[in-house]
Amino acid sequence: MKPSVEALFESELKRRAIPFTSDPKTKRYSVGAEQPSLVALETLAREYAIDGDPDCVPRFVEAMLNGGATPDWYIARHSILFALEPNDYADSPELRLSLSKRVDRVPILVDQRVGTWQWINRQMLETWGVTVDDATEAASAAAAAALCSAKLERSDVEGVTLGFFETALPLKSPLLLAPNLKEIVGPILGWPLHAVVPDQDFIYLWPVTAAGFCERMGAVVVREYSIAPHPVTTELFKISDEGMKAVGAFG
């Protein structure tokens, strides 16, 4: 039996004497000491499953390390987003805004080349010479651009149009915070919307006018959350002109 991608990844980090910790609940790795990066292995695992080449792991680590230095602001501002993160942290991010009882909005820096992201801290802002407001403005613009590049897929379920995204981003939750969500999604799905985010890579959207559909989605949300590589929440959100807020929770 071939070793798991997690075993190969940990072995490669140990070989390079790179400190890391892993969170069994979220299945993420915190890699590095001074400014640790949050690393998800989903993309790497898919590559490994397809070609079975264990050398993809050292290549991944090498690319991750080469991109590990904080880029200058001109480059970084296009890769800043707000992610939805569960707020039951072992170590809380320095910068976060409460969105619900269970979820925070956390500014992140995304590296799409290797499918990783890291929480932005105050030291990074100081390095860039920018304020929290500057980062927030950049994240809004980057989310709008990411949503324009994403593909909105649709599925008809019992007469209700269910929407979900295909995107090059390593996580999908930032798309729900894009300022142009109504402009892009509203004409197709309707407005306002209900949304669920049981996992960073799992989002469903549907019109709030679909009475009774929320009950049908409950079992799906709880199941996906229970097996999610990067669980977020079982909450049900309403997205409207007033913003995004939790209106209930499943399970």
Task: Give residue 35's pLDDT.
Answer: 67
The values of phi and psi at residue 148, to 5°, are -65, -30
Reported as half-sphere exposure (CB side, CA atoms, 13 A), residue 4 has a value of 5
Task: Give residue 68's pLDDT.
Answer: 56
Q: Using CA atoms, how far apart are residues 90 and 25, in angstroms rounded to an integer?
A: 11
Task: Give residue 44's pLDDT.
Answer: 78
Crossing angle for the helix pair 5-15 and 42-51, to the nearest 10 degrees = 110
Residue whose token pair is 């499918």: 115
Is the CB of residue 124 less than 8 Å from the CB of residue 137?
Answer: no
- The H or E element containing residue 139 is helix 132-149
Helix (H, G, I), strand (E, B) or coil at 116: strand
Regions in the chain scoring below 50 on pLDDT = none
Task: Give residue 64's pLDDT.
Answer: 75
What pTM did the predictor assign?
Answer: 0.77
Is the CB of residue 225 less than 8 Å from the CB of residue 231?
Answer: yes
The values of phi and psi at residue 16, to 5°, are -90, 5
10 Å CB burial of residue 21 (0-12, 13-18, 19+) is exposed
Neighbours of 39 (CB within 10 A): 25
